[in-house]
A and B are shown apart, each in its own frame.
Chain A
Amino acid sequence: MSGAPATGPALEVRDLDVAYRVRGRWRRVLRGVSFQIGRGESYGLVGESGCGKSTAALAIAQYLPRNGRVRGGDILVDGRSVVGLRGQELRRYRAQTVSMVYQNPGAALNPSLRVGDQVVEAFTASGVRADEASARARAALERVQIADAESVLRRYPHQLSGGMQQRVVIAMALAKDPSLLVLDEPTTGLDATVEAEVLDLVAQLQRELRTSVLFISHNLGVIAKMCSRVGVLYAGRLVEEGPVETVLRDPRHPYTVGLLRCIPRGGVRKDHGRLDTIPGFLPPLGAELRGCVFADRCPLADARCTAEEPPLVPLAEGHTSRCWYHERAAALPREEAPDLELPPIDREAPPLLRFRDLGKVFRERGHDVYALLGAEGAIWPGETLGLVGESGSGKTTLANALLGIVEPTEGTVELDGRPLAPRFQKRTPEQLRALQIVFQNPDSALNRRHSVRRILLRALRKLAGLAGGPAEGRLRELALRVRLPERALTQKPVQLSGGLKQRVAIARAFAGEPRLVVCDEPTSALDVSVQAAILNLLVELQAEKRVAYLFISHDLGVVRYISDRIAVLYLGRLQEVGPAEVVFEGPHHPYTEALLSAVPTVDGGGRERIKLEGEIPSAAAPPSGCVFHTRCPRKLGRVCELEEPPLREVEPGHLLRCHIPIEELRRLQAKPPAERVGA
């Protein structure tokens, strides 16, 4: 019973000011933000962490934390102000008008209630009669394309995969036919192929139900795919707004331009062209800003920018930019850096590291789980081997087996042609120094009670055998090389930003001149502008020291940028290994093909989406024959179910595990005409 007027915008945010009270001071987080979402429109809000995206969502749902308050402006949903709603009215607003979907579906569902009870509750809360609700619940799950709705309703949330959980949450959010659906990073924790499916689903539902959507994401590619208009937030200020294609094709604010340039995009590789970064830091929470919020990081800024804030300048067709020099934004000066001289990789020479027939079986509740099976390969000095695959594919197990963190059940690892002990405890200091690692999350990778100095000095002592004066000298050198400000040395990790923390972690790995560094998703916890700087640093270090990387990432753009060769894992089996360009350009394994097509890109695709059916099978009961046959869109027939294809060299340096001959793959995967844009 929304009883809403059919005209007028679904959401109107007017001059919204939100502040949090932290340590006795009000700190402004949103500074006069205004935007509208029309009926049936999908509006994207994009920006890096800390810019106020989630705060906007919380304010709209009237769900700000206790210390947060709307201090100015207004939020109108269906033409009615929702700021300051209380009690019954607030409950009715949340129950009937606005729906939220958050990032982590596992936390959005109650772990101790059956899925069915929770979905039914979503219906009864919005006023559906109890006897009707269970039928509606089943229909709702069918609407979000859950095939076996009846059995899913009887299960508990932990028995569902992340993608399924998010579908259930979306079904619940749509139960009340909301006037406004707020999606806050709904696919950020999901695998690429699952993310693509959820996004497809949301797009389809949005078309069918004509729901108005506020879509919040840090990922410009996702926004490009999902939204018709986009607003770019920076430091709590809307700096640019307009139709998605226009903003992404012709950005008119230096921040948007910077964001777009940070992302490694199709074709750019480490050997030609470094990534642009956005220097500097976001202004601190609640800082008093006089001029343009972006002025101190903007290469175009001059005295006028710091003195006077530019208005939202209207450009063509609903496109606005808050910049004095918007016409020059596109021509933003690029970072001046000489091209790097990357050492050539000599694959005729003996490899640095070789692993043969590597396998790992975990025993779990009486089942053998094959996390890794028959992995083979080599890494040469100075090269980057990218490792891609969805969660549970065995990427980390492979890396850990090489490092000796997990003891492989079978197979061998050789360093310089000499076998390595399976457990790192049995390896020599020389061998330990040769293989180091940079972890995903610098918060847990650095001891939070030790100062940066102490962390690095200890690494120098253990890995380089240095102490006292020489160690101090090397410490300074190391800090300089990873661009760690001297002042950071005396600080504890909590006092550093995410990017600086990751630099400390990299410095620690490089303390003893490593030969191979495993990079386990080293940038996925960072914002894109920081990610670019970290990738640049890794490439510089490689050029300088001929270190090899085993680079694990779920971000295919990043992997393509930094890798010389790429290995694709699925259910613990290598499916494809080859030079980065070959793997990306094809002909490739059908799984690689699907993985690549699933990634939403800023330029709107160019690849046709290849849908994968169903869920990733359990590693405890892998499918017979080719493990990918249950989801393979190019399955040949019985042979795929019965016989596992070998990993064959189909071209020089290109290995594939597929029954389909390479020529056939080449024909099947021939590029569609350039105009054809994926759905």
Chain B
Amino acid sequence: MSVAPLSPAELHAEARAARAERRRLLLRSPGVLIGAAVLLFWIACALLGDRITPYDPIFDQSEDVFASPSAEHWLGTDRLGRDVFSRVLAGSRDILLVAPAATLLGTALGTALGLLTGYLRGIVDDVLSRLIDAVLSLPLIVIAVTAIAALGTRSATTVVIVIGAVFAPIIARTVRAAVLAERELEYVRAARLRGERAPYVMFVEILPNVMPVIIVEATVRLGYAVFAVASLTFIGFGIQLPSPDWAVQIADNYQFVDPAWWTVLFPAAAIASLVIAVNLVSEGLQQAYER
């Protein structure tokens, strides 16, 4: 369908309407709203921490170990008699720092890599792309565990760096595909014909045009990052005690899952809710940008 040529004022209004449409599409989708609500809830919990928890998540240790859920302890207590409800509320803080930081790092690295390989092509592309393929052929957790073991330090910072580094090639591949399509457009040729250098073309001309792809990819990766951080933490490579992190809690209590199921189920549900919330938002973003 051809579109009518409009007067500049009309076109301006149309462009604004298109943006408003995208916003409305986001806000109207029940998935996005639920996801955003859950996400905001956990962010609020992370910010307020022990100010809103009924008990101190770390230091309030009662005699009553493995108490089942009751009016006093809504979600029961763990092996040290700490209130599981308080610990679940407080447990979002570390993962909400580590997972986004890892995603951010991975996105920044991946974007740079994707721009380089996609724009420069040739030997740079060949070498880097084969390296990326090699990285991608191994399961994420295997690489991460190996890397952390090799680095020898088990800390949140290490997890951020390792997950960021593992994500970079994945994001790079998506960005590269977008850049490959973009570099064939004439505005890139026009820029080069007026003597622009490669960094300018990559970062000023092409980058803004592949931004939607990067944003969508980053939110998708955030979901995976939450999952990866939790997995690494569970096997002892990630966030460490005494943090009330959800995965730490699960690792701490999983041998007592029968009969104290509440010590594992509720933190696990919290992790799941966060992953699902992130995925709902990212799916909505994807749909809004792809229209």
Contact = CB atoms under 8 A, between A and B. Distances in A.
A and B pair up: yes
B274 to A, nearest CB: 33
A50 B15 contact: no
Contact of B4 (A284, A435, A512): A284
Interface stretch (B91-99, B181-189, B264-272): B181-189
B63 interface: no
A492 B18 CA distance: 14
Nearest to A65: B1
Contacts of B11: 491, 494-497
A449 B208 contact: yes
B5 A405 contact: no
A51 B2 CA distance: 9
Nearest to A218: B2
A435 B195 CA distance: 12
A498 B186 CA distance: 16
Nearest to B15: A495
A439 B193 CA distance: 12
A77 interface: no
A332 interface: no
Contacts of B137: none
A372 to B, nearest CB: 18
A400 to B, nearest CB: 9
A432 B193 contact: yes
Contacts of B17: 23
A235 B212 CA distance: 35
A446 B7 contact: no
Nearest to A488: B8
B187 A54 contact: no
A463 interface: yes
A3 interface: no
B151 interface: no
A424 interface: yes
A338 interface: no
Nearest to B12: A495
B8 A445 contact: no
A66 interface: no
A508 B4 CA distance: 25
A429 B194 CA distance: 8
Nearest to B17: A23
A50 B1 CA distance: 8
B186 A49 contact: no
Given A447-B205, A459-B194, A462-B194, A405 B189 contact: yes
B287 interface: no
Interface string B185-204: 11101111111100000000
Contact of A491 (B2, B12, B192, B208): B12
A231 to B, nearest CB: 18
Contacts of B194: 432-433, 436, 458-459, 462-463, 511-512
Interface in B188-243: 189-196, 205, 208-209, 211
B80 to A, nearest CB: 55
A50 B186 contact: no
B142 interface: no
A50 B14 CA distance: 15
A500 B10 CA distance: 14
Given A281-B5, A487-B8, A527-B5, A444 B187 contact: yes
A498 B185 CA distance: 17
B4 A282 contact: yes
Interface in A265-295: 281-285
Contact of B193 (A281, A283, A285, A403): A403
B192 A497 contact: no
Contacts of A436: 193-194
A295 to B, nearest CB: 15
B193 A50 contact: no
B190 A437 contact: yes
B8 A49 contact: no
A544 B192 CA distance: 27
A494 B208 contact: no
B7 A508 contact: no
A487 B8 CA distance: 8
Chain A interface size range = 35 or more
A336 to B, nearest CB: 24
B120 to A, nearest CB: 13
A231 B18 CA distance: 34
Given A65-B1, A439-B190, A447-B205, A23 B21 contact: yes
B6 interface: yes
Contacts of B1: 54-55, 65
B138 interface: no
B134 interface: no
A284 B6 contact: yes
Contacts of B150: none
A446 to B, nearest CB: 6
Contacts of A405: 189, 193
A283 B4 CA distance: 8
Given A54-B1, A444-B186, A447-B205, A496 B8 contact: yes
A266 B29 CA distance: 58
B3 interface: yes
Interface string A523-535: 0000100100000
B283 to A, nearest CB: 22
A405 to B, nearest CB: 7
A499 interface: yes
A487 B2 CA distance: 25
Contacts of A499: 5
Interface string B124-144: 000000000000000000000
Contact of B185 (A55, A65, A444, A505): A444
A661 interface: no
A278 to B, nearest CB: 11
Given A281-B7, A495-B15, A497-B8, A50 B2 contact: yes
A601 to B, nearest CB: 24
Interface in A464-520: 485, 487-488, 491-492, 494-500, 505, 508, 511-512
Nearest to A55: B1
Interface in B12-57: 12, 14-15, 17, 21
Interface string B59-95: 0000000000000000000000000000000000000
A448 B186 contact: no
Nearest to A445: B186
A530 B14 CA distance: 21
A441 interface: yes
Given A444-B187, A462-B196, A49 B5 contact: yes
A94 to B, nearest CB: 19
Given A65-B1, A436-B193, A463-B194, A494 B15 contact: yes
A329 B185 CA distance: 43
Most chain-A Cβ atoms within 10 A of its Cβ — which of B5, B15, B208? B5
Contacts of B195: 429, 432, 462-463
Interface in A511-567: 511-512, 527, 530
Contacts of B189: 405, 437, 439
Contacts of A449: 208-209, 211
Nearest to A51: B4
Contacts of A285: 3-4, 6
Given A492-B15, A497-B11, A282 B5 contact: yes
A31 to B, nearest CB: 13
A437 B8 contact: no
B233 to A, nearest CB: 39
A439 B186 contact: yes
14 contacts: A49-B4, A50-B4, A54-B1, A54-B2, A424-B193, A429-B195, A436-B193, A436-B194, A437-B189, A444-B187, A449-B209, A491-B8, A494-B11, A499-B5
Given A50-B5, A449-B209, 14 more contacts: A50-B3, A50-B4, A51-B4, A54-B2, A282-B6, A285-B6, A429-B195, A432-B193, A439-B186, A446-B187, A462-B196, A487-B8, A492-B15, A499-B5
9 closest cross-chain pairs (CB), A and B: A50-B4, A449-B208, A49-B2, A445-B186, A497-B5, A439-B186, A444-B185, A462-B194, A495-B11
